[in-house]
Amino acid sequence: MSAARTLAPDPRGQIKTRQRVRDLAEVFTHEREVKAMLDLIPDMFPAGSTKTVDAKFLEPACGSGNFLEEILRRKLAGVRFARVHLVSRYEHWLLRALASIYGVDICADNVNESRLRLLEVLRSHYHNDANTMAPSEGFAAAARAIVASNIVHADFLADASRIEVVDYQPGRGGTFLRVWSMLDDSAEVRRMPDLFHPEPAPKRDEVPVHYTMLAANGEPTRASELVNTKGG
């Protein structure tokens, strides 16, 4: 008598199917290990502080977002409405934490799941921290635009230097200046304090764009072309 060959349910949700383990080496990291690994870099998440909110993280095979989610949660721990008292400043800080997180995966469904999980962490942080306040018009659309640009469906091994993401450089008054940049996987990047390839000349906004207008202005923006509409 042969043993049943069905895959037993994985209680820790680390495996979707055997086929995917074979094809993609897809075994997700357990939450306990994710936390333990991030605990090794406490300086990146100083307690109750926004000092490192813009620190950039890249997960080149992000899966369904186990690391990305925990990184965002830790960055947001220091972003408290009670510390800023101004909706636009608060929302700008929240988006800065999100906009500095980058992920790549070869599987479209993993990319989609990662994006949704990041948006849910942002939504629930907002709700729990400032629950009597409704997010302003344009905030949710800006968050969606950010994850669409920076959580990318691609093959990191074959195409790393052709993967375009956006460097959201925070400015005054709730703005970002966006620089469309290629990721750099060269040996040189390990000596440079940045993730982005210096060539080819990057596309960039000519004027800073308020976060509520990011979604409506998806392309590099000139002052004369700025669409003054908040995304839905």
Select the span of 38-46, 55-63, 123-131, 168-176 touching ligand SAM (CB under 6 A): 55-63
* Both tokens assigned to 173: 């008054």
Within residues 35-54, the interface with ligand SAM by CB under 6 A covers: none
Of 23, 4, 8, 125, which Cα lies nearest the Cα of 74? 125
Q: Which of 69, 70, 91, 105 is close enough to bind ligand SAM by CB under 6 A?
A: 105
Select the span of 4-12, 131-139, 152-160, 170-178 touching ligand SAM (CB under 6 A): 152-160
Buried b vs exposed e over 213-225: b needs ≥16 C-beta within 10 Å? Answer: bbbbbeebbeeee
Distance CA 17, CA 10 (A): 10
Query: Closer CB to ligand SAM, residue 94 or residue 107?
Result: 107
Burial of 112 (0-12, 13-18, 19+ CB in 10 A): middle
Query: Closer CB to ligand SAM, residue 29 or residue 136?
Result: 29
Residue type, 223: A
Query: Closer CB to ligand SAM, residue 25 or residue 40?
Result: 25
Q: Which of 16, 28, 117, 230 is close enough to bind ligand SAM by CB under 6 A?
A: 28
Q: Which of 53, 73, 98, 110 is close enough to bind ligand SAM by CB under 6 A?
A: 110
Of 13, 120, 118, 16, which Cα lies nearest the Cα of 68? 118
Query: DSSP 3-state assignment of 165?
Result: strand
Distance CA 122, CA 54 (A): 15
Q: Which of 76, 79, 101, 107 is close enough to bind ligand SAM by CB under 6 A?
A: 107
Select the span of 90-98, 100-108, 122-130, 165-173 touching ligand SAM (CB under 6 A): 100-108
Q: Which residues bind ligand SAM (CB under 6 A)?
A: 24-29, 59, 61-63, 66-67, 104-107, 110, 155-157
